[in-house]
Amino acid sequence: MYRTHTCGELRIDNAGQRVELAGWIQRIRKMGGMSFVDLRDRYGITQLVIDDSKDPALNDIVGRLGREYVVKATGTVAERSSKNSRIPTGDIEIRIESLTILNASETPPFTIEDDTDGGEELRAKYRYIDLRRNPLKKALELRHKMAQETRNYLDSIGFIEIETPVLIKSTPEGARDFVVPSRMNPGEFYALPQSPQQLKQLLMVAGYDRYFQIVRCFRDEDLRADRQPEFTQIDCEMSFVEREDILTTFEGMIKTLFKNILGIGFDQDKKFKYHKAPLSEGVFPRISYQDAMKYYGSDKPDIRFGMEIADIKDLTAGQNFAPFDSAEYVGGICVKGAAEYTRKQTDELTEWVKRPQIGAKGLVYIKVTSEGIKSSVDKFYSAEQLEKIAERMGAGKGDLLLFLAGPWKRTLEALGTLRIEMGNRLGLRKSDEYAPLWIYDFPLLEWDDETGRFYAMHHPFTSPKPEDLDKFFGADRDRIAEVSANAYDFVLNGTEIGGGSIRIHDQKIQERMFEVLGFSKEEAEYRFGFIMNAFSYGAPPHGGIAFGFDRFCALFGGQESIRDFIAFPKNNSGRDMMMDAPSKIDEGQMKELFLRSTI
């Protein structure tokens, strides 16, 4: 037996007990003829103390110890004379009788402390050492708990977890597939699932009406910051449901996670005080895609704070201010208490919105001060006109109003980004506050000028709203572009955490979908024949949702980055820095797979 207790377990009540511990050496100090050794394991740190004058053999072992050596220690629990209130075992120490070195260690490349001296790359290379640190340990523990709670909850309401294969045929979710060559089928490839979308739908056809899976998904995308080529979803599907059933069911799951993990319940008044739309009792706010764009300039609004966007186009027309007169849309936000912004600060904000990422042409401001209204467009608008605008925006003394003008969608998105920036600058996006909501009624399709075709905004299995079926089956491209999807997203603090839809279960609608997406009959048959075929064998009405599990965990952990919530993540170029993958394979392997190197 290596240990009787863990390094996080012993307390003053254990004083006098003879114990055995095993773990890693965190620190060694010598003081007044004694050696103090901090022994660490997953559960905590316990201080070992050795009387240097007692046992030369023991002294010899202590002399050989180094950081991160693995040892087994035997001794007696005793009350400490100088206690350490910062750790749970801080009242006791172990008077050591014997020590065994189980394994030596090189000096670690960085310190195993909460604030380590190791840079990101070094830590990625030695991930197994980095994982010894507390913040990472806590992140993985949180992830485990989230998974457990999710499983318990879904199990308790009749869902079953079913594993789907990883080697499949391509499932389009808008990214490139990772592919795997097949040795037994020369020239043919499996695709790794971008999600188990089609498989979970087939499970519905098979009658498993409540499915879930905590499942790895793979997408070969150009990596933006904090995206991983492989990531985990809580993937779910239900039969005989409408949107309402899905939202209610998963609101239950989300609330359970909040309650059991963070101890947070949702008190509507407190949590959603800024949101204008009336809320029914006990449900998360729901905002249509159109309203989300209109009020927040985003399909994933952060509603921890107000600062909603207001359209002022009608109040600005005909005053010879060309940037407003010529714009399709003019809108702004009211930044409470920021009227004191200096010229320098507003100039800096103007530069900020002109950056290519935002792409605004310029910024107009109005300041509501105790001396009256001042603005950057005083030449064009009378005080009364400016006051009217201020009134529309609910501005009071001390507020700063910021306006952008241009094409509808682009300007609203720019205002949305500006809103978030001002929220950050004013400290309104508090990390301990959570504001969940649902966005619904997304457009079904997006037209892409470059390729001259429609793309599914969610994925090609998403159902059009029944009231839009006429448009969908019609020939008018503009009208097809207006079709709404029966799709919804779950958004938390400005981040999209989940998305799903009611699916197409009618073979004809599915065929039309592939047609609208520009697939020929043969191509659709080749790629999706199996699912279309399944729809002719009694497919029930069904729908589902998937949550980004890594991001969910990161948000619960109060972190921006998902990387710490994944045991072995990849870096920004999709590399595993520890294993150094991807890597070349040898000629023999290439040959066997019928692959030829082109470099």
Handedness of CA 297, 298, 299, 304 (dihedral sign): negative
Do residues 265 and 459 lie in contact, with contact meaning Cβ atoms separated by under 8 Å?
no
- The string of DSSP letters for 226-294 reads T--SEEEEEEEEEES--HHHHHHHHHHHHHHHIIIII-----HHHHTTT--S---TTS--EEEHHHHHH
C-alpha–C-alpha distance, residues 548 and 233, integer Å: 5
CB of 204 to ligand ASP, least distance (A): 11
Considering beta carbons, is residue 197 or 239 the nearer one to ligand ASP? 197
CB of 200 to ligand ASP, least distance (A): 7
Considering beta carbons, is residue 35 or 201 the nearer one to ligand ASP? 201
CB of 459 to ligand ASP, least distance (A): 6
Question: SS3 string of 179-206?
Answer: EEECCCCCCCEEECCCCCHHHHHHHHHC
CB of 196 to ligand ASP, least distance (A): 7
Considering beta carbons, is residue 332 or 543 the nearer one to ligand ASP? 543
CB of 197 to ligand ASP, least distance (A): 4
Considering beta carbons, is residue 118 or 499 the nearer one to ligand ASP? 499
Q: Where are the alpha helices (DSSP H) in 258-382?
A: 268-271, 289-296, 313-316, 322-325, 343-354
CA 397 to the chain's CA centroid: 38
Considering beta carbons, is residue 428 or 545 the nearer one to ligand ASP? 545
CB of 173 to ligand ASP, least distance (A): 5
Considering beta carbons, is residue 160 or 595 the nearer one to ligand ASP? 160
Which amino acid is located at 95 in the chain?
Answer: R
CB of 280 to ligand ASP, least distance (A): 25
Considering beta carbons, is residue 7 or 504 the nearer one to ligand ASP? 504
Q: DSSP class of residue 540?
A: P
C-alpha–C-alpha distance, residues 242 and 90, integer Å: 55
Considering beta carbons, is residue 275 or 459 the nearer one to ligand ASP? 459
Binding site for ligand ASP (CB under 6 A): 173, 195, 197, 459, 499-501, 544-546
CB of 499 to ligand ASP, least distance (A): 5
Burial of 114 (0-12, 13-18, 19+ CB in 10 A): exposed
Do residues 464 and 472 lie in contact, with contact meaning Cβ atoms separated by under 8 Å?
yes
CB of 273 to ligand ASP, least distance (A): 31
Considering beta carbons, is residue 244 or 267 the nearer one to ligand ASP? 244
CB of 542 to ligand ASP, least distance (A): 10
C-alpha–C-alpha distance, residues 451 and 232, integer Å: 31
Q: In angstroms, what CA-CA distances link 207 with 9, 252, 272, 369, 532?
A: 48, 23, 39, 65, 17
E strand or H helix at 554:
helix 549-556
Tell me which residue of 97, 339, 147, 344 sits closest to 261, measured CA to CA.
Answer: 147
CB of 300 to ligand ASP, least distance (A): 14
Do residues 19 and 94 lie in contact, with contact meaning Cβ atoms separated by under 8 Å?
yes
CB of 564 to ligand ASP, least distance (A): 23
CB of 217 to ligand ASP, least distance (A): 7
Do residues 443 and 455 lie in contact, with contact meaning Cβ atoms separated by under 8 Å?
no
Provide the token pair at 203.
Answer: 């499970």
Considering beta carbons, is residue 75 or 460 the nearer one to ligand ASP? 460
CA 586 to the chain's CA centroid: 37
C-alpha–C-alpha distance, residues 101 and 24, integer Å: 10
Handedness of CA 321, 322, 326, 330 (dihedral sign): negative
Considering beta carbons, is residue 71 or 217 the nearer one to ligand ASP? 217
Provide the token pair at 392.
Answer: 């529309």
C-alpha–C-alpha distance, residues 245 and 256, integer Å: 17
Considering beta carbons, is residue 255 or 459 the nearer one to ligand ASP? 459
Alpha carbon distance, N-terminus to C-terminus of the chain:
54
Considering beta carbons, is residue 131 or 147 the nearer one to ligand ASP? 147
CB of 194 to ligand ASP, least distance (A): 7
Considering beta carbons, is residue 297 or 544 the nearer one to ligand ASP? 544
Do residues 232 and 563 lie in contact, with contact meaning Cβ atoms separated by under 8 Å?
no
